[in-house]
Homo-oligomer: A and B are copies of this chain.
Amino acid sequence: MEKRTINPPFFCVNPKAYLYGEEALKLAKTADALAEKYSIDIFFTVQYADAFRIAQETKHLIITVQHMDNLNVGPGMGYILPEGLVAAGVQATFLNHAEHPVGVNDLVKIMKRAEELGILVIACADSIAEAQAIATLAPDVMVCEPTELIGTGKTSDASYMKQTNEAVKSVSPNTLVLQAAGISSAQDVRLAIESGADGTGGTSGIVCAVDPEQTLMEMVETVAAVHSEQREQRK
């Protein structure tokens, strides 16, 4: 599989384990329509069991799992086989999220497997030191978010965002930076991208919103709007 190219600013909808089955599919379809309408690359994370179905029923989303294992075809009971993900339509995986930490050695091996299979890697770090260590492995995307902000509705402040962007890019210039901590409004989305993030996104800020579909729509619109403004400025 050839690895998909990501065009920033991108967006990431990460429902974690908040949504599954029909509800996940419904939000995915909304995200899919938005990806098409605004020509924005949208990562959409799924429960493994929903991957095939959501991949079948959407066209533009980057179907993303929340972890995958260092496993080869063969024995290995109950782990996540990368080849099986690809066969189901998965194109990207998160790795080393604070809620699913990965060993250094495993991370190297899983990223090698992802490379072989054309799976995009979104690697997470929760300190600048950790971000720089992982950046040496040149993941496609890095998430730099202080663990203590996850799920609080408080964005990383602008200076932290700038600092982490630079820390990652200085080690791995081609790695895109996703700033997704505490994003719960279109305004947070704007701030993240204006602070230099290549992408942004959310979990509870979307799925726990009064109207998740509407919130998602406003966020993706904002990504597109900031993108236009930035292009204008560059002229």
Contact = CB atoms under 8 A, between A and B. Distances in A.
Nearest to A81: B17
Interface of A: 14, 16-18, 20-22, 24, 47-53, 65-67, 71-81, 83-85, 87-88, 90, 94, 96-108, 112, 125-127, 129-130, 132-134, 136-137, 151, 171, 203-204
A78 B88 contact: no
A17 B113 CA distance: 15
How many copies of this chain? 4
Contacts of A71: 17
Nearest to A103: B101
Contacts of A74: 16-18
B105 A96 contact: yes
A130 B84 CA distance: 26
A14 B77 CA distance: 9
A226 B76 CA distance: 31
| A-B CB proximity, top 9 nearest | A67-B78, A21-B87, A20-B84, A48-B48, A66-B78, A47-B84, A49-B88, A77-B99, A78-B100
Contacts of A81: 17, 20, 47
A23 to B, nearest CB: 9
Contacts of A65: 78
Contact of A73 (B18, B84, B105, B130): B18
A12 to B, nearest CB: 12
B78 A104 contact: no
A133 B106 contact: no
Nearest to A96: B104
B75 A17 contact: yes
Contacts of A22: 87
A76 B16 contact: yes
